[in-house]
Structure 1
Amino acid sequence: MKIIDKLVGNYDGQSVIEYTLSNDSGMTVSCLNYGCVITKIIVPDRQGNFENVVLGFEEFEDYLDLSPYFGCVVGRVAGRIKGARFELDGKEYLLADNEHPNHLHGGKKGFNSVIWKAEKIEEDEEVGLKFYYYSPNGEEGYPGNLNIFVTYLLNNKNELVITYEGKTDQKTLVNLTNHSYFNLSGNLKRDCTEHILQLESDRFLELGKDLIPTGKMIAAKNTPFDFQHGRRILSGVNSVHPQNVLAGNGYDHPLIFTGNGENTIVLSDEESGRTLMVTTDQPCVVVYTSNQLEGPFSISGVRARNYLGVCLETQGLPDAIHQPEFPSVILNPEDVYYSTTKYRFFANTLGD
């Protein structure tokens, strides 16, 4: 187990460091102190070939100009907030409308685009980083001075465990997630349309034209949103279901877990044999199949195109502040925000 670090750039007068965590099996996770961005996750396929399974850039500067939230921590609130405003205890707060007229992923300068303090963690069976960021009262329009810790831990079970912890001195909103785009083919050899996704969810949130939940929960059974027995991403891409079409021919939807406590998501690629198992204590996962990724830029030498990655954004329900029946994302001064999501990688041999 080891950690190495290197200087990769400069941002806002501060050094940008890339840290690479390695376990005894050869798995590595690389990340930046800028936005807690995960730049690479290197894991083996069924033949023992070690390749990168997340989307990211080779040069730090590309994250400033081109990144659609690759690998970062987003907050204070993941997803969209309708009208870029909300009310707490009778007072209205106006947020940055960075996706006019709405607020997206924490605003113009969300947690994804700031430098975090980083402290190394080096143990016999795990290595990692504890990131810290202080978000002052009024940043991007949010109330309260907020202290946030995000911990990345890699162990010898080929697990990456992400823990989020937050404390505020004033009532505010907090709903964090990691925005990694996964592609289990390895080094972007193929898109993700043949990936199979499975999770225990019997409802999903209906989206309006602005991709914000309407408040209506739709039964997933007999729709392309039923993943309980496994479903290829392609089924949503080719679907004529109005919600798939609305999202740009694919998925950009919150899927609500059927159970409380620990919930499991499984993403697999038959050709490489790689499987990603995600366990989380969050009530939903936003599945985004990069329907809008196409653009005039390259990702590690591969031209950007739609369906090149799958985001599994474990989080509270989006725009919950405007939907009283959704679980609350309000954080009170007497409480601590705490959440954990674990990513375990393994490879199946032929015949498994």
Structure 2
Amino acid sequence: MKWITLSAPLVLALAVSGQAAAADNAKASTGAVTTSVFGTLPDGRQARLYRFSNAHGIEMAVTDYGGIIVSLRTPDSSGDVDDIVLGFDSLEGYLSDAYRKSNPYFGALIGRYGNRIAGGQFTLDGQTYNLAKNNGPNHLHGGNKGFNQVLWNAKPFSNDKGAGVILKYVSADGEEGYPGKLDVTVTYTLGDQDTLSVEYNATTTKATPVNLTQHSYFNLEGEGSGSILDHRLMINADAFTPVDDTLIPTGEIRSVEGTPFDFRQATAIGKRIDEDNTQLEYGPGYDHNFVLNRPDGSKGELVQAARVTEPDSGRILEIATTEPGIQFYSGNFLDGTLTGKSGRAYGHRTGFALETQHFPDSPNQDGFPSTILEPGDTYHSRTVYTFSAR
């Protein structure tokens, strides 16, 4: 298969209908965006749900709590519509003790730093910063209260590019141990040409690591429908970053050739997941960063990163990104303790995540692309998801 650099938005065929029911059904419309109350936080603030559509009636649902994509309903090859992202139909599901204990980050925006930082520590400009160790000995996805648990300032919009919501959050200097005040803007846009774009921008007052991503779990047969092991996956990567037994990269860039990590041709996720392989044992399963193939001179441009097909429904997911890596996670720690929108439990490997990103532990890895944002510079990243069926 030939992978190409994409200089224009991808086209997707996508039908979405928000599933989440608001505790208060009073609604207001802003152009193509409908707003309702999604629930109330423990401190009394209300979280809201935003449903938006394009000219073709395509819709999705996002809440300002954690920037979570709550619902994404797409047609299969027969035109039947199902919700293909894991999650809950009320805010209470995301606040429950069971969810907080397992913390799978369903559909959320992740920051300041997506993925792991070794030992919850990094040194920058001669100063050592200590972060929460919320994943064994390591720091994960921004700490004890990452961007997935904050209430973002949301502004719905509808213009000639489409409809969506602009989410803003100011992370204070020292929040979760990170230096600098970080001003973050994330924009979800559902375009009239059937494109879904997630665009990230940030500025800082002090040098700081930044690695933002989106953590939706997908099941292209429909959330709650069972295993994702028959999904066929392609990843545009000749190499991946192997990890130690705490899932921290060793610093090596290893070829996928001859390994269970070779997804350069479409392969069922479950075909090699149980092979006798040390990296898969550490997972347990796939929980690894892939080094995306990028043509010379294409830094900052969209390149195709991954493609997933589901044979029964015919649904297809494609991902393009400006990022250098993508984390493939095969839902190894889902254990059936959480029940989703379908009323069915999310068991082992019933959803997968493909998180576009810089590499894990980059602040401690000189050989990885830098994630340090300096004052006066602007962090910018864009990922485009394409959904279709055939």
Q: Using structure 1 for the length normalisation, give the TM-score.
A: 0.96
Q: Unpaired segments of 5 or more residues in structure 1?
A: none
Q: Which residue of 1 aligns with 2:214?
A: 178
The answer for the alignment partner of 1:19 in structure 2 is 50
The superposition leaves residues 94-128 of structure 1 with CA deviations (integer Å, 9 ceiling, x where unpaired) of 11122242111000111000000011110245101
Q: Distance in 2 between matches of 1:297 and 1:177?
A: 23
Are residue 269 (structure 1) and residue 310 (structure 2) matched? Answer: yes
Q: Secondary structure at the match of 1:198?
A: strand
Q: Alignment RMSD, CA only?
A: 1.3
Residue 42 of structure 1: which of 70, 73, 76 is its match?
73
Amino acid at match of 1:289: S
Q: Residue by residue, what CA displacement relative to the aligned partner does 1:234-282 show, whole Å, maximum 9, x if unpaired?
A: 123232222112201x210001112153221111111101101111010
Q: 2:350 aligns with which of 299, 308, 315?
A: 308
Shift of 1:15: 1.0
Alignment length, in residue pairs?
347
> Residues 28 and 43 of structure 1 are in contact (CA less than 8 Å); yes or no, is this contact kept in structure 2?
no
Report whether the alignment pairs 1:344 with 2:379. no
- Give the aligned partner of residue 89 of structure 1: 125
Q: Is the 8 A contact 1:21 1:28 kept in 2?
A: yes
Letter in 1 for 2:328: V
Output the amino acid matched with 2:317. L
Instruction: Give deviations 1:179-237, integer Å, cap 9, x for gaps.
Output: 00011002432321111111220101111100111111211011111111111101232
Q: Which residue of 1 aligns with 2:366?
A: 324
Aligned to 1:293: 334
2-side partners of 1:14 and 1:304: how far apart? 29
Pick one of 146, 158, 164 that aligns with 1:122.
158
Amino acid at match of 1:318: P
Could you tell me which residue of structure 2 aligns to residue 105 of structure 1?
A: 141
CA contact (8 A) 1:158 1:346 kept: no
Aligned position for 2:18:
none
SS, match of residue 215 in structure 1: coil
| Counterpart-to-counterpart distance in 1, 2:263 and 2:194 | 25
Number of the residue aligned with 2:177: 141
Aligned to 2:113: 77
Q: Provide the rounded CA distance (Å) in 1 between the counterparts of 2:226 and 2:51.
A: 25
Distance 1:34 1:96 in 2: 21
Kept in 2: contact 1:84–1:96 (CA 8 A): yes
**What is the match of residue 82 of structure 2?**
51
AA at the equivalent of 1:299: G
**Alpha-carbon distance between aligned partners in 2 of 1:154 and 1:270, rounded to the nearest angstrom:** 26
- Give yes or no for contact 2:224–2:346 (8 Å, CA) kept in 1: no
| AA partner of residue 74 (structure 2) | V
Contact 1:158–1:345 (8 Å) recurs in 2: no
Q: What's the counterpart of residue 292 of structure 2?
A: 257
Q: Secondary structure, in 3 states, of the residue corresponding to 2:94?
A: helix
2:192 to 142, 153, 156: 156
The share of aligned pairs that are identical, in percent, is 39
1:70-104 Cα shifts (integer Å, max 9, x gaps): 00011100011111111111111111122242111
